[in-house]
Amino acid sequence: MAHVYQPDRIEQKWQKTWEAQQTFKTLPENSDKPKYYILDMFPYPSGSGLHVGHPEGYTATDIIARAKRMQGYNVLHPMGWDAFGLPAERAAVREQKHPADITQANIANFKKQIKRLGLSYDWSREICTSSPDYYRWTQWIFLKMVDKGLAYLADVPVNWCPAQATVLANEEVVDGKYVETGDPVEQRNMRQWMLKITAYADALLDDLEGLDWPENVIEMQKNWIGKSQGAHIHFPLQDHDSSITVFTTRPETVFGATFMVVAPHHPILEHVLQPAHKAAVQDYCAQISQDHLDHSHEKTGVFTGAYAINPLTKQPIPIWVSDYVKLGYGTGAIMAVPGHDERDHAFATAYQIPIKEVFDEHNKAVASGFLDGLSIDQAKDTMLEHLTQHQLGSAKTTYKLRDWLFSRQRYWGEPFPVVYDGDVPLPLSQDDLPILLPPIQAYKPTEDGKPPLGRADDDWLLVQRDGKVFPRELNTMPQWAGSCWYYLRYMDPHNDKAPFGPDKEQYWGQVDLYVGGLEHAVSHLLYARFWHKVLYDLGLVSHKEPFKKLFNQGMILGVSYKDDQGKYYHTQDIIHQAGKPFSKQGHKPLTSMVEKMSKSKLNVINPDDVVNEYGADALRLYEMFMGPLEATKPWQSEGVKGVYNFLQRVWQLSVDPTTDKQSASLDDHLNMDAHPKLYQRLNQLIEKVTYDIEHLKFNTSIAKMMEFTNECKQQSVLSTELWKTFITLLSPFAPHICEEIWQIMGNKKQLAYQAWPIADPNAVAEETFNLVFCINGKRISQATVATDIADDEAKTLFLEDPKIIKVLADRHIKKLIVVKQKLINAVV
Ligand code: ANZ
């Protein structure tokens, strides 16, 4: 038996055993155990392999999955690959290989790396969104959407990225740039497939209610949907028999509308623009289209020369054009109320337009005719009634959410199961599926501007039916498509008759816990919820929401080192002197910074290196010990050493022949009499670890386990039962070392299904007594405290006691006397 902890000897052995014995295979659905479905956001298998952010979430779910198995659940804990997407296509161009081959190689690498971490996935359920037996069913769901009128073709202004020669979803564009590459994005009109997510706007909003999700994610989803209740109000044009309709959330402020603003390129401009102002407005619009995505500039605008009539004051008000009003929201036109809207106020000030206040400091209407004296809410109701009655407007709800642009001019995605008869799209039948991606030689758009699939052979391009020829749709689906329903496929991954069987779906129901990064707070989670609701309405799933509980792990940052020239240094090229970093060569002083890990900053930590040096158990434990799971936190290599030393200590305590703890025959039965203190500590630990696992608070549990081993170290003899229980508690965190110790202790069955310990309620409670607080010998107050309370802690409690504070007032304490297990007295 090795007396030194050697993770490399242990870890591979157990990984092989688990694999050979299918230890973590999910039980069949007729199991009488309760089910628990715990899911990681599956990774995109990128060429750079796993980074330390992946094991953070994966270890968290693995700890829970392992604990749940031990607690008697039938656990579904799967892993797969979000494998379609642009990076593989770009690599294909670069490396002259097929994206499928690149993806396959990347998956093999990812899988090898993930398997080294001892994660208890049921690999028999592995899925891959780019394999035909998966995307066949993505196409199948798309056909259902076409059937329901939820997928349609439309000429839409799109975000066109010239560098990538493709359109992007709104969610993929930030500040006029493609978030993945930073390439500029412009607007274009194109005929594209759209998914009618707006039909589900209210359901997507309302059903957030019952979810156990982080508040910030719920907030982000609400904002993205952006439901606004207000009114449409018609402003007649002066000298013209048409009108401009505005959307406002403040109809009670109409009396204060002193001008109007329409968005650049608003179609109404054609009718209202006065000849003398035409050139100026056209110039302005042209300039806006050029830098329309650059939001940094000041509020600017031009006057159209035209006037509208405020329908309440009957006064003419000027119509301006400005890009602070957006074409795609509301009606693309606003009534501007500079007295009560900040943006309007800034604009009115800049262009010397009158500002009129219509609510006073008590929020009562003033200078507003029949509204005068009413509160905002009363005024709103009264105005809405007035508008409706006089056909000047009506109540209106708008959403920021837009239908989902679902076409991409790319190769490496799901082909649409659609052909064309002239301009008319014809959905193919379910029996035609899968529509396979054809092999092509180059992945750029064709010379005549068709998407890459335009390069396929005629065999693929043209579909013969009843003597007629129909060309295929050449766009592909966006990368988000496959991840919209993958959690359902894990329930029944090998079904070749349906995406998943109803019996399996009914058994597994919702994902009980979903863990992943905050970057998916809107896009993926909104799209998946939308598809799920469509499937619900089709009667294919039994819950309205896919993910019952969501948890976002925090980002792991890197520590980087930079000299005054801005040059970055690798940690191995650095020495520390008097706690300060210097370059090894040239001895330049460096500044250290905590930043997002990136290759260019030389601060990326490769999980493989950590496993090689310290083992997977140490990596797992460290990532959970770094801080709260949800916190953003820097990687600190000394921290890994710290947890490695802890594992070392656990190993020593298990195998050390001098104290012979593992056989401790003196005291084979764990009981209060033999080790009252340790027995109590163990039960407190059981309670704590059980609670913490349920609430994803792993760092505090690990700290307690460390404390516990320190106490164990001070014992001359340890009970086997006690140590077995401790090893059981530690096993979800550090499974390899614990299985090994478990075996060394003579257990024949694997630890993976050992019953989870239950705390003895009688043993958990701390023994307590009443500590009396006195001032000059007079009893003032008291507190219930643990028998072994430290003096410092007792003094703090004394000084923080409200009654003591009151009686002490400003008096100075000369002496604070602690009489153990009895009282504290302040001499003043
Ligand atoms: C008059 C008013 C007075 C407004 C006031 C606000 C405050 P949310 O809440 O985001 O829905 N608005 C309407 N359409 C717009 C567009 N296409 N581009 C830019 N702004 C637009 O915002 C609704 C408010 O934003 C509307 O209510 C309108 O200004 C403006 F004291 O009307 B409000």
For residue 798, name the pLDDT band (cuts at 50, 70, 90): very high
Q: Which of 329, 343, 345, 396 to mutate to test the pocket of ligand 1 (most atoms within 8 A of CB)?
A: 329
**Residue whose CA is at the smallest distance from ligand 1 atom 33:** 248
pLDDT class of 292 with cuts at 50, 70, 90: very low
Task: Provide the phi-psi class of 367: left if phi over 0, else alpha when psi is between -120 and 50, else beta.
Answer: left
Cα(209) to ligand 1 centroid in Å equals 26
pLDDT value for 670: 44
Show Cβ contacts of residue 225 under 8 Å, excluding neighbours closer than 6 positions.
201, 204, 205, 399, 400, 401
Question: In whole angstroms, what is the distance from residue 581 CA to residue 188 CA?
Answer: 52
CA distance 771 to 773: 7
d(CA 632, CA 669): 44
Which residue, among 200, 172, 177, has the nearest Cα to 408 in the 3D structure? 172
Half-sphere exposure of 786 (CA within 13 A, CB side): 10
Residue 231 φ then ψ, to 5°: -145, 155
Beta-carbon count within 10 A of 709 CB: 16
Pocket probe mutation, ligand 1, options 235, 249, 323, 396, max atoms within 8 Å of Cβ: 249
pLDDT for res 631: 97
CA–CA gap between residue 387 and residue 394 (Å, rounded): 6
The pLDDT > 90 percentage for the chain reads 82
Distance 325 CA to ligand 1 centre (A): 9
| Residue 105, token pair as written in the block | 């190689």
Q: Output the pLDDT for position 291.
A: 55
Rg of the chain taking only CA atoms, in angstroms: 34
Q: What is the per-residue pLDDT for 661?
A: 46
Counting residues of the chain whose pLDDT is more than 70, the rounded percentage is 96
Contact between 732 and 642 under an 8 Å Cβ cutoff? The reply is: no
Cβ–Cβ under 8 Å, residues 252 and 349: no
CA 404 to chain centre: 20
Tell which one of 234, 322, 334 to mutate to probe ligand 1, the residue whose CB is within 8 A of the most ligand atoms: 334
326 pocket-lining for ligand 1 (C-beta < 6 Å): yes
Q: Is 14 a residue whose pLDDT tops 70?
A: yes
The tens digit of pLDDT for each residue in 611-665 reads 999 999 999 999 999 999 999 999 998 999 999 999 999 999 998 644 444 444 4
Write out pLDDT tens, residues 452-462. 999 999 999 99
Q: Whose CA is nearest to atom 28 of ligand 1?
A: 248
| CA atoms within a 13 Å half-sphere pointing along the CA-CB vector of 655 | 19
| DSSP letters for 474-522 | --B--TTTGGGSHHHHTTSTT-SSSSS-HHHHHHH-SBSEEEE-GGGTT
Structure tokens at 234: 């018609």
Binning pLDDT at 50, 70 and 90, where does residue 3 land? Answer: confident
341 lines ligand 1 (CB under 6 A): yes
For tokens 């430290």, the residue is 790
Query: pLDDT confidence of 570, banded at 50, 70, 90?
Result: very high
Work out the end-to-end distance of the chain between its first and last CA atoms, rounded to an integer number of angstroms. 63
pLDDT exceeds cutoff 80 at 808: yes
For residue 497, pLDDT over 80 is answered with yes
User: Residue 339 CA: which ligand 1 atom is closest?
Assistant: 31
Centre of ligand 1 from the C-alpha of residue 189, in Å: 26
Query: What's residue 674's pLDDT?
Result: 58
CB atoms within 10 A of CB 727: 24
Rama region for 299: left / alpha / beta (φ>0; ψ in -120 to 50; rest): beta
Q: Are 568 and 561 in contact (CB under 8 A)?
A: yes
pLDDT tens digits, 743-788:
999 999 999 999 999 999 888 877 778 999 999 999 999 998 888 7
User: Contacts from 747-752 at CB under 8 Å and sequence distance 24+?
Assistant: 750/17, 750/21, 750/23, 751/727, 752/18, 752/23, 752/24, 752/66, 752/69, 752/70, 752/120
Residue 668 is predicted with a pLDDT of 44
The model's pLDDT over 78-87, given as tens digits with 9 standing for 90+, comes to 999 999 998 8
* Separation of alpha carbons 804 and 775, rounded Å: 8
CB of 489 closer than 8 Å to CB of 448? no
- Looking at the CA of residue 257, tell me the nearest atom of ligand 1: 1
* Measured distance CA(197)–CA(522) in Å, rounded: 13
Whose CA is closest to atom 11 on ligand 1?
228
Strand segments, DSSP code E, in 704-805 are 768-775, 778-786
Q: Which two tokens stand for residue 130?
A: 């780019």
Cis check for the bond before 251: say yes or no (omega within 30 of 0).
Answer: no
What is the predicted pLDDT for the residue at 765?
A: 76
Identify the bridge partners of residue 581 per DSSP, sorted by sequence position. Answer: 576
Task: Return the closest-CA partner of residue 135 out of 195, 197, 101, 84.
Answer: 84
* Cβ proximity of 342 and 305 under 8 Å: no
Query: Tell me, what's the pLDDT at 436?
Result: 98
- Between CA 808 and CA 814 the distance in angstroms is 12
Q: Is 493 in the pocket of ligand 1 (CB under 6 A)?
A: no
Judge whether residue 704 has pLDDT over 50. Answer: yes
User: With 60 as the cut, is the pLDDT of residue 255 above it?
Assistant: yes
What region does 579 belong to: left with phi over 0, alpha with psi -120 to 50, or beta?
left
Supply the pTM of this predicted model.
0.86
3-state secondary structure of 396: strand
| Crossing angle (nearest 10°) for helices 616-625 and 7-20 | 100
340 lines ligand 1 (CB under 6 A): yes
Confirm or reject: Cβ of 247 under 6 Å from ligand 1.
yes
- Among residues 51, 64, 70, the alpha carbon closest in space to that of 619 is found at 51
> Would you place residue 421 in the very low, low, confident or very high pLDDT band (cuts 50, 70, 90)?
very high
* Helical axes 53-70 vs 616-625, angle rounded to 10°: 100
Looking at the DSSP assignment, which residues form a beta bridge with residue 471?
462
What mean pLDDT value characterizes the chain?
Answer: 93
pLDDT at 672: 45
DSSP structure string for 291-359? STT-TTSPP-EEEEEEEEE-TTT--EEEEEEETTS-TTSTTSEEEE-TTT-HHHHHHHHHTT------B
- Kindly report which listed range (179-188, 379-388, 695-704) carries the lowest average pLDDT score: 179-188
